Amino acid sequence: MLGTMSGATSSTRKQEFANFIVELMASWAPVQARPMFGGFGVYRDGLMFAILIEETLYFKVDDESEPLFAQRGLPRFSYESKGRTASLRYCEAPAEAYDEAVHMASWARLGYDCAVRQQNKRKPARKVAASRARRPIDADVLASGAGSMPQREPKLGVGRKARGQGAQLDMMKNLGPKSQEMLAGAGIHSDEDLRHLGAVVAYARTKAVCPRASLNLLWALEGALTGRDWKEVAETDCASLLMALEDVQQHML
C-alpha cells in the first residue's frame, strides 16, 4: 500500500498517508486529517475519532468498543514516557481496513461512535468539571485508562507549607508569579504537590479551574520537573505530552 511512498521524505510520506486515509473513508463520510503532535488527528463533524502516527491508523475506543479490537489482537497506541510505557485509548486498525472502503467504514464507525458517546458525556459534565479537577488524581490510573476515579482526599498542599514540607514553586525552573498563581488555584503550592501529580495531570487540573492557562504552562511544568527550559520541552516532548493530556482530560469528565 505504501510502497509508492518509499522515496518520499518523512513529512511527505505522512501527508500522503493522511490523504490516502481521507480518500478511503470518503465513501463512508467526509473526514478531515489535521496535523497535530507529529501526526494527524482524523475528524468527522468536528469530532476527533482517530489518529495517524508514523503511517499507522488508530481508532478512538472506550469500554464499549475496545473489546472488539482486543478480540482481534489490535493493541492500543503506546509510547515511552519517563522510562515507562504509557498508552492512549486508541487502538490500531486491522489490515483489511486499508484494503477495502467497506471494511474501513465499519471500523471508522466504531471510532466515531465512541467520539460521539464521549461528546455526549462531556456536555452535562462541564458544570462540575472544576470541582472534579480539584480532587487528587492518580496519574498512573489515568494514563492507563483503567479503573475509576479515586475517592476524595485532603486537598494537596494544605498543611504542608505550615509543616515546612516541600520547596516553594518559585524555586523551580520556568515557574514565575503568574504560573504560580494559576497553579495555586488548582491546589498546587509546592514542588511536592507538583511531583505527586506530574506535569500532565497538574496542567489538566489547572486548565479546568483557570481556562486562560496555555500549553506553555504544560511545557513549563514538564521542564520544572526535569530541569529543562520550557522551549526545549515544547520541541522534544510535545507529542507525548499532548497525547497524554487528551487521555487525562477524558478521564476528568
How many of the other CB atoms lie within 10 Å of CB of 3?
5
Residue 236: predicted pLDDT: 65
Q: What is the C-alpha to C-alpha distance for residues 213 and 234, in angstroms, rounded to an integer?
A: 15
Residue 35: predicted pLDDT: 83
Residue 142 and residue 100 share a domain: no
Residue 4 has pLDDT above 50, yes or no: no
Residue 247 and residue 211 share a domain: yes
Residue 141: predicted pLDDT: 33
Last residue of a domain, one of 108, 126, 144: 126
65 falls within a domain:
yes
Alpha carbon 182 to chain centroid distance?
21
Residue 82 has pLDDT above 70, yes or no: no
The DSSP secondary-structure symbol of 187 reads: T
3 falls within a domain:
no
Residue 122: predicted pLDDT: 56
Neighbouring residues of 196: CB distance < 8 A, sequence distance ≥ 6? 136, 156
Q: What is the C-alpha to C-alpha distance for residues 140 and 154, in angstroms, rounded to an integer?
A: 19
Query: Which helix (H) or strand (E) is 19 found in, with range?
Result: helix 10-25
Residue 202 and residue 120 share a domain: no
Region 68-73 average pLDDT: 97
Q: What is the C-alpha to C-alpha distance for residues 180 and 187, in angstroms, rounded to an integer?
A: 10
Last residue of a domain, one of 103, 126, 149: 126
Residue 145 and residue 112 share a domain: no
Residue 122 and residue 139 share a domain: no
Distances in whole angstroms, Cα of residue 119 to Cα of each of 113, 114, 210, 227: 10, 9, 21, 37
1 falls within a domain:
no
Total tally of structural domains belonging to the chain:
2
Residue 155 and residue 118 share a domain: no
73 falls within a domain:
yes
2 falls within a domain:
no
Domain range holding 90? 8-126
Last residue of a domain, one of 80, 106, 126: 126
Region 200-208 average pLDDT: 94
Neighbouring residues of 43: CB distance < 8 A, sequence distance ≥ 6? 31, 32, 33, 34, 49
Alpha carbon 81 to chain centroid distance?
13
Residue 223 and residue 145 share a domain: yes
Residue 21 and residue 102 share a domain: yes
**56-65, 124-133, 180-189: which range is least confident on average?**
124-133
85 falls within a domain:
yes
Q: Is 127 helix (H, G, I), strand (E, B) or coil?
A: helix
Residue 110 has pLDDT above 90, yes or no: yes
H helices present in 134-229, as ranges: 139-144, 160-163, 177-185, 191-197, 199-209, 215-226
Neighbouring residues of 228: CB distance < 8 A, sequence distance ≥ 6? 173, 222
Q: What is the gyration radius of the CA atoms in the chain, in angstroms?
A: 20
In CATH, what number is assigned to the domain containing residue 141?
A: 1.10.150.20
Q: Structure pTM?
A: 0.57
Residue 147 and residue 109 share a domain: no
Give tens-digit pLDDT for 221-246: 999 998 889 988 876 666 667 777 87
Region 204-224 average pLDDT: 92
Region 81-86 average pLDDT: 72
Residue 108 and residue 170 share a domain: no
Residue 111 and residue 185 share a domain: no
In CATH, what number is assigned to the domain containing residue 97?
A: 3.30.1460.30
For the chain, the straight-line distance linking the first and the last C-alpha, in angstroms and rounded, comes to 39
Contact 209, 186 (CB under 8 A): yes
Residue 240 and residue 210 share a domain: yes
**Of residues 124 and 50, which shows the higher confidence score?**
50
Average pLDDT, the chain: 79
